[in-house]
A and B are shown apart, each in its own frame.
Chain A
Amino acid sequence: MRIGVFICHCGTNIGATVDSAGVAENAKSLPDVVFATDSMYTCSEPGQDGIIRAISEHALDGVVVAACSPRMHEPTFRRAVERAGVNRYMFEMANIREHVSWIGKDKEANSNKAFELVRIAVEKLRRNRPLTPKYFPSTKRVLVIGGGVAGIQAALDCADAGIEVIMVEREPSIGGKMAKLDKTFPTVDCSSCILGPKMVDVAQHPKITLYACSELESVSGFVGNFEVVIRRKATCVDNTKCTGCGLCAEKCPSKKSFDRFNEGVGTTTAINIPFPQAIPKKAVIDKSFCRQFVKGKCGVCAKVCPTGAISYEQQDELLTVQVGAMVAATGYDLVDWKVYSEYGGGRYPDVVTSLQYERMMSASGPFGGHIKRLSDGKEPKNVVFIQCVGSRDVSIGRPYCSGFCCMYTAKQAILTKDHIPDSQSYVFYMDIRSPGKGYDEFTRRAQEEYGTQYIRGRVSLIYPKGDRYIVRGVDTLAGAQVEVEADLVVLAVGVEAAANSPHLAEKLRISYDKFGFFMESHVKLKPIETNTAGVFLAGCSQGPKDIPSSVAMGSAAAAKAIGLLSKDMLESDPQIAQVNINRCVGCGKCINVCPYKAIREIDFRGQAKAEVIEAVCQGCGLCNATCPQGAVQLSHFTDNQILAEVEALCRC
């Protein structure tokens, strides 16, 4: 073999702590290496041209680049060597940036390690052989998980591009958190007026199939060919018959049911349509309150339903669908703020969450748009807002900023003044974070036009005094302790990943961070992609985001899915498993562990043997690791290659 080695400086990223030129010089001594050099930015055009020129000048048939993580630039370099006529799998990468230069300052030690990694890569490459990708068809259908505004946008964009969409929503209606909001910043336009039409579009779009009250049961398959099982939870209402007339809810005798949509502000009936604009507009029975289930008898709704849609015996239904791509848009939930005993820990009825306050202000909310206290129904005059409740708090494991609370708190202060002109709002804040178009102007309006008092400092205690509350805090700008009498306290509760996000991530085989938010493939350059091909992210599932960002991300995820499915055939990575039929004892362990159903049992001269279906195999290596006989080997990751790498390392 004739191998060329290229050691990257990555500007000073590598060059500052690794002697790239020295490593290149040493590399010339390695077996089969006929050319070695260093380059300032190997991934740049001159860098790639250098590789291409060296291939033709030195008749190279294999290339090693020692540079950054292969995640970003392995495809770049593979394309480069292919342009020069070398098979793109006759290429290996040594990561001397993340694995060397960024983690140590000792230049000599770093250079030694960089050389060791190069030696390993050379030994591996010497045992590579040219591979050719296979092609396989894909299903032109997208699954959108979550029907909040991000998911809605992704679904509509995909559907408008002519791709079928299946939307799965856990709650009885789509709309997500945005549907609960009264108004939106910074324009103070009505949330349901701008979201409502989009929700209707989802319902009416011929390319979109919506499954509400449904969750993802399991996912198998791979990019272009996922098989998804959806659990349609029993709502005890036949959606094909329910017209959404609401008669059942009117007559339902169980009127003290917890109102999930209204965040527990007020109560609802056991059978209900969560809100007037709900999509789908179908009644749903809450079994934990329905008398038919709790007491075993009632049946009022079944009697009054004019279409006979009620079916108490309804069971969960499992539905299997094929999709080519998936968009995870599962949104967020509020942090459990009741861990804060200084805010009453949930004991004071007039200490509410920001989301509850949205429902209290909303014209379609339980109070019809007239703000009143949950305790005595009186109109509050002094309203205190506390920001960063469960955000930027290391002590409860939520060190991050939830991003949009500063803005909605300003909005809620403005709206409070609109609703109750003789009211006074106070905001306890840590910093005002308003980086967005028209955002900072908006927070200033709250202060300057609406007279909201902003107090920079934390609140140490809320305690009741008569029928009011004393909010004790510190004003760090004045350097004084302050006490504010409040009729109502609104907590700007921070954001965390939606409940059970890790479970979903595991089903989707994507990563999640320590807070449960889904991990993007690259923080800056691949914020939509995950490390699982064909799974994309939108909205708060990836991290806290306001509405414009969520919508933008929904469109971005749609663009990614459309781009993927616009190709008729997808290319498969040829670095796949192969079975050595002599070693195979036909035990079938590989068949059982394969997550892609890519191995089948064949009859070979009367004996059972395993066989890999090439276009289906994703090269994950599970079978390889499982086979006790070592009969399954992964191309370019064979035992011999790994052994050669270990030996190369031990020789150093």
Chain B
Amino acid sequence: MDDELKGAIRKVLPDVDCVIGWGPGPDPLRSAPFFMRKPEEVDAFVVGPLAVNNPAVFLPEYKGKKVGIVVKGCDSRSVVQQIAEGLVKREEVVIIGFPCSGVVDIQKIAAQLGQDIEPGMVTSLSISSDKLTVNVKDTAKTMDMADVRADKCASCQYPNAVVSDEFVGTPKEGKTDDYADLAAFEEKSIDERFAFWEQEMSRCIRCYACRNACPLCVCRDHCVATSREPHWLNQADSTREKLFFQLIHATHLAGRCTGCGECSRACPVGIPVGLFKRTMTRAAARLFDYQAGTNAETVPPLQTFATEEPTIKEREW
């Protein structure tokens, strides 16, 4: 499939500024965002379980230029939502899709290795369909792919690009998402949950990687986190301010978040900040029967007004 995808990228290249995908990262275990402008650059293109980043995060920056983008199913939902929200123009993006079998969670691999992964530590890597072998210096560690796969992949409804101009490979069957993780979390009492978040957020270093990795965060220099005008947040190193930012982020994404999981993945201290957004996503699904990033033609529920919502019976007098 790699070669077929590379072929598709080369085919698209002449019409676009660049094609965004994945390329070699700092070590064999990690890929990095990759911007291909010349056909020879395509050779280094990487796809598979290591293509973890969501390349859609770069798209709004290219507004006004035509670009190509290689997307997993989850990434494609971000693109669709960007189009639905007018952040990206459909005619300015060429979407190359493929059936995704899931990506790895580096933190799970680190846990399997029993140590943090320092740069240069992993010397080589081999991947089969259900196994992953990591060579750290001279010792090889083989792990089940199922044990190191990202959580979001377990409930992936859209493994194939939702929208694509070029699709390479045979579409895969999607899974269902029953929000079991949320239900499990909500088993805890309110106090326990709050204690959990206080503990988690106390570790936050306010790097805003969660925000920067989010393909739907478009406030750029005017983000409430850094703006003094209006002065929603102060810079005090307090759990309260850190938590407050997450709550603002989650409400900003209510009915918009496509669940790509980049916020949690990007967090350098491993705070599961994606849970906040998943709560909103579930609410949007239950209240408005709406799933962000599945149809660029529908208007997100919080950006329109329906006289009567199908699930909210307010006229029964």
Binary per-residue interface labels of chain B (221-239) against chain A in the complex, 1 for a CB within 8 Å, 0 otherwise: 0101000011110000000
Which residues in B have their C-beta under 8 angstroms from that of A622?
305
| Contact across chains for B219 and A638 when beta carbons are under 8 A apart | no
| Contact across chains for A587 and B85 when beta carbons are under 8 A apart | yes
Contact flag A630-B222 (CB < 8 Å), given A502-B317, A514-B317, A587-B86: yes
Which residues in A have their C-beta under 8 angstroms from that of B220?
585
Q: Which of B218, B230, B315, B317 contacts A640 (CB 8 A)?
A: B230
Q: Which of B229, B303, B307, B317 contacts A589 (CB 8 A)?
A: B303
| Contact across chains for B222 and A583 when beta carbons are under 8 A apart | yes
Which residues in A have their C-beta under 8 angstroms from that of B299?
592
A589 vs B216: C-alpha distance in the bound complex, in angstroms? 14
Which residues in A have their C-beta under 8 angstroms from that of B305?
593, 595, 622
* B60 in the interface (beta carbon within 8 A): yes
Q: Which of A589, A595, A640 contacts B85 (CB 8 A)?
A: A589
| Contact across chains for B317 and A588 when beta carbons are under 8 A apart | no
Contact flag A592-B303 (CB < 8 Å), given A587-B86, A587-B218, A629-B218: yes
* B243 in the interface (beta carbon within 8 A): no
Contact flag A592-B60 (CB < 8 Å), given A515-B317, A628-B219, A630-B219: no
Q: Which of A583-617 contact B (CB under 8 A)?
A: 583, 585-589, 592-593, 595, 606-607
Binary per-residue interface labels of chain A (632-652) against chain B in the complex, 1 for a CB within 8 Å, 0 otherwise: 000000111001000000000
A448 vs B278: C-alpha distance in the bound complex, in angstroms? 75
| Contact across chains for A629 and B230 when beta carbons are under 8 A apart | no
Binary per-residue interface labels of chain B (300-317) against chain A in the complex, 1 for a CB within 8 Å, 0 otherwise: 001111011000000101
Place the interface of chain B in its size category: 20 to 34
* A506 in the interface (beta carbon within 8 A): yes
| Contact across chains for B218 and A585 when beta carbons are under 8 A apart | yes
A332 vs B22: C-alpha distance in the bound complex, in angstroms? 66
Q: State the Cβ distance, A124 to closest chain B Cβ, in Å.
A: 14
| Contact across chains for A639 and B304 when beta carbons are under 8 A apart | no
A438 vs B257: C-alpha distance in the bound complex, in angstroms? 67
| Contact across chains for B307 and A503 when beta carbons are under 8 A apart | yes
Nearest A residue to B229, CB-CB: A640
Q: State the Cβ distance, A69 to closest chain B Cβ, in Å.
A: 24
Among A595, A628, A640, A643, the most chain B Cβ lie within 10 Å of the Cβ of A628
* A516 in the interface (beta carbon within 8 A): yes
Q: State the Cβ distance, A632 to closest chain B Cβ, in Å.
A: 12
* A626 in the interface (beta carbon within 8 A): yes
A630 vs B228: C-alpha distance in the bound complex, in angstroms? 13
* A395 in the interface (beta carbon within 8 A): no
Which residues in A have their C-beta under 8 angstroms from that of B307?
503, 506-507
A606 vs B305: C-alpha distance in the bound complex, in angstroms? 31
| Contact across chains for B315 and A585 when beta carbons are under 8 A apart | no
| Contact across chains for A516 and B317 when beta carbons are under 8 A apart | yes
Which residues in A have their C-beta under 8 angstroms from that of B224?
630
Question: Could you list some 13 contacts between A and B, CB below 8 A?
Answer: A503-B307, A514-B317, A515-B317, A586-B86, A587-B218, A606-B64, A626-B303, A628-B218, A630-B219, A630-B224, A631-B222, A638-B230, A639-B230
Interface residues of A (CB under 8 A from B): 502-503, 506-507, 512, 514-516, 582-583, 585-589, 592-593, 595, 606-607, 622, 626, 628-631, 638-640, 643
Closest 8 CB pairs of A and B: A639-B230, A587-B86, A640-B230, A629-B219, A588-B86, A506-B307, A583-B222, A502-B315
